Amino acid sequence: MNAALLGAMRRIVGRSNAVDDPEVTAGYAVDWTGRWRGSTPLVVRPVDTGEVAAVIDWCAANGVAVVPQGGNTGLVGGGVPLHGEVVLSLRRLAGISQVDAEGGQLTAGAGTTIADVQAAAEVVGWSYGVDLASRDSATVGGTVATNAGGLRVLRHGDTRQQVLGVQAVLGDASVVEHLGGLVKDNTGYHLPSLLCGSEGTLGVVTAARLRLVPRFEQRVVALVGVETMADAVALGGLVRRTVADVDAVEFLTSSCRELVGLPVPLGEEHAVYVLVECAGHDDPTAGLAAAVGDLPAAVAGPSEPARRAQLWRYREAITEAVNQIGPPVKLDVTLPADQLARFVDDVPGVVPEGARTWLFGHVADGNVHVNVTGVDPDDESVDDAVLRLVAARGGSISAEHGIGHAKQPWLHLVRSEAEVAAMRSIKHALDPAGILNPHALLP
Ligand SMILES: Cc1cc2nc3c(=O)[nH]c(=O)nc-3n(C[C@H](O)[C@H](O)[C@H](O)COP(=O)(O)OP(=O)(O)OC[C@H]3O[C@@H](n4cnc5c(N)ncnc54)[C@H](O)[C@@H]3O)c2cc1C
């Protein structure tokens, strides 16, 4: 351990928040899936923006690389120190302030969990538009840095569309802040958009001004059985065209249903299940039932919150169930609507024999989570085969999880040399010493 680094960090954040005990730091060095495992000499846990800026200032001056980390639920290895970097944990920057109940906005510290943002929004009669199964750990800083999507993108958009402003420490330790929350504000480059999805490579997000969305009490969930992925895509389209107030249209294959260990939901097994949630000020059940028609379906209406949660378990329990098999290869991709069904049908054919492919996702956004188990997680031939198939079909190699380390070698499939060069220029301008997550995102 570099004594100067330890001494400087202890002076800035205090002895107890500059952690070098290997038993503690090990927990910050492995990702949620267990696939990405590194090591770090030090975990630094600042409590406010001033401390973050002081840490970055010292690290930039001394050429020490830093990996920002929030809830460590990221799935592409971007938040763990794979090259011995210092971990900058933002979890202590938690808290909600400046709640505007009329305007529907609040400011949240980077370490605030998404569940806490949702709870704070509810208190003032609103809701937060981003929701994801990792809500109890994923943080505001991490979701901004990855531009997280989640279960309600269809209705409310991704994180970028919720962020009205940010406070962040750039790589040269300067603090940028624009937290006024003006909805209309055309005053030059939109730094919040740039920081959204930058995966800790341009700046450390310390707070965000978030827009809230209306809170709808009348909710209905339907789990519908269909026989092919093409049927699932068609149902998704029909629901979006004909039903008002659609919040989410998800899908899972029958093998995922089996894996989560929940009973066959509709009397007999179906090849694919589509989960639709609608929410409005009026009960949306009739509109949804009309779209579902004669298809086999389990429906839970506004007065059945427990049953609705039970139906959601079929979809939300998959990520954890896959992880219990062992570290999976996780590929989160998007396809154009007209390629989605063919891709889901074809993808098991491109993984090695003996591997299991688990397919689920957000059918209305074309977003498929391709999870592969039964292969060595370091065997990149699976990533290569699947991501090349995605690119050949006009899709994106990352729908919502980001590039991190997992997708770096394939960025060229979907981004031109000129685009990558422009990204490098921006990186150099905002992080001239190149200390912010230097091994993530850009190859
Ligand atoms: C069960 C489960 C379900 C999930 N479902 C979804 C889903 O539906 N949709 C989705 O999009 N994702 C999903 N994820 C992935 C994950 O939750 C998101 O990527 C989330 O945004 C990560 O937040 P975090 O706070 O855990 O960030 P971390 O994992 O700690 O970090 C992620 C990245 O952000 C950077 N970072 C973290 N904090 C900051 C900061 N303050 N400033 C700058 N950079 C920072 C890190 O360096 C890293 O590159 C899921 C994960 C799990 C485990």
Over its length of 443 residues, how does the chain's per-residue pLDDT go in tens digits?
689 999 999 999 999 999 999 999 999 999 998 889 999 999 999 999 999 999 999 999 999 999 999 999 999 999 999 999 999 999 999 999 999 999 999 999 999 999 999 999 999 999 999 999 899 999 999 999 999 998 899 999 999 999 999 999 999 999 999 999 999 999 999 999 999 999 999 999 999 999 999 999 999 999 999 999 999 999 999 999 999 899 999 999 999 999 999 999 899 999 999 999 999 999 999 999 999 999 999 999 999 999 999 999 999 999 999 999 988 899 999 999 999 999 999 999 999 888 999 999 999 999 999 999 999 888 899 999 999 999 999 999 999 999 999 999 999 999 999 999 999 999 999 999 999 999 999 98
Decide if 193 contacts 159 (C-beta within 8 A): no
Residue whose Cα lies nearest atom 18 of ligand 1: it is 74
In this prediction, residue 378 carries a pLDDT of 82
Q: Ligand 1 center to residue 62 CA distance, Å?
A: 28
- Ligand 1 atom closest to the Cα of residue 200 is 44
Q: Ligand 1 center to residue 134 CA distance, Å?
A: 8
- Ligand 1 atom closest to the Cα of residue 206 is 41
Residue whose Cα lies nearest atom 7 of ligand 1: it is 150
CA–CA separation, 91 and 43 (whole Å)? 12
Q: Which two tokens stand for residue 217?
A: 């009490």
Regarding the beta carbon of 167 and ligand 1, being less than 6 Å apart is answered no
In this prediction, residue 327 carries a pLDDT of 87
- Ligand 1 atom closest to the Cα of residue 402 is 19
Regarding the beta carbon of 52 and ligand 1, being less than 6 Å apart is answered no
Regarding the beta carbon of 287 and ligand 1, being less than 6 Å apart is answered no
- CA nearest neighbour of 82 among 338, 427, 404, 301: 404
- CA nearest neighbour of 171 among 194, 201, 195, 143: 201
Regarding the beta carbon of 146 and ligand 1, being less than 6 Å apart is answered yes
CA 419 to chain centre: 23
CA–CA separation, 2 and 424 (whole Å)? 29
The total number of residues written for the chain in this structure = 443
Regarding the beta carbon of 334 and ligand 1, being less than 6 Å apart is answered no
Q: Ligand 1 center to residue 146 CA distance, Å?
A: 6
Exposed e or buried b per residue across 205-238, where buried means at least 16 C-beta atoms within 10 angstroms of its C-beta: bbbbbbbbbebbebbbbbbbbbeebebbbebbee
Q: Ligand 1 center to residue 401 CA distance, Å?
A: 7
In this prediction, residue 383 carries a pLDDT of 94
Regarding the beta carbon of 400 and ligand 1, being less than 6 Å apart is answered yes
DSSP 381-416: HHHHHHHHHHHHTT-BS-SSS--TTTTGGGGGGTS-
Regarding the beta carbon of 367 and ligand 1, being less than 6 Å apart is answered no
In this prediction, residue 182 carries a pLDDT of 94
Q: Ligand 1 center to residue 72 CA distance, Å?
A: 6
- For a mutational test of ligand 1's pocket, the pick from 44, 83, 132, 198, i.e. the residue with the most ligand atoms closer than 8 A to its C-beta, is 132
- The strand pair at 96-100 and 105-109 is best described as antiparallel
Regarding the beta carbon of 139 and ligand 1, being less than 6 Å apart is answered yes
Alpha helices in 148-267, H assignment, sequence order: 153-156, 191-195, 229-242, 254-260
In this prediction, residue 336 carries a pLDDT of 96
Residue whose Cα lies nearest atom 15 of ligand 1: it is 74
- For a mutational test of ligand 1's pocket, the pick from 75, 89, 323, i.e. the residue with the most ligand atoms closer than 8 A to its C-beta, is 75
CA–CA separation, 385 and 308 (whole Å)? 37
- For a mutational test of ligand 1's pocket, the pick from 51, 134, 202, 210, i.e. the residue with the most ligand atoms closer than 8 A to its C-beta, is 134
Residue whose Cα lies nearest atom 41 of ligand 1: it is 141
Regarding the beta carbon of 78 and ligand 1, being less than 6 Å apart is answered yes
Regarding the beta carbon of 109 and ligand 1, being less than 6 Å apart is answered no
Regarding the beta carbon of 357 and ligand 1, being less than 6 Å apart is answered no
Residue whose Cα lies nearest atom 11 of ligand 1: it is 148
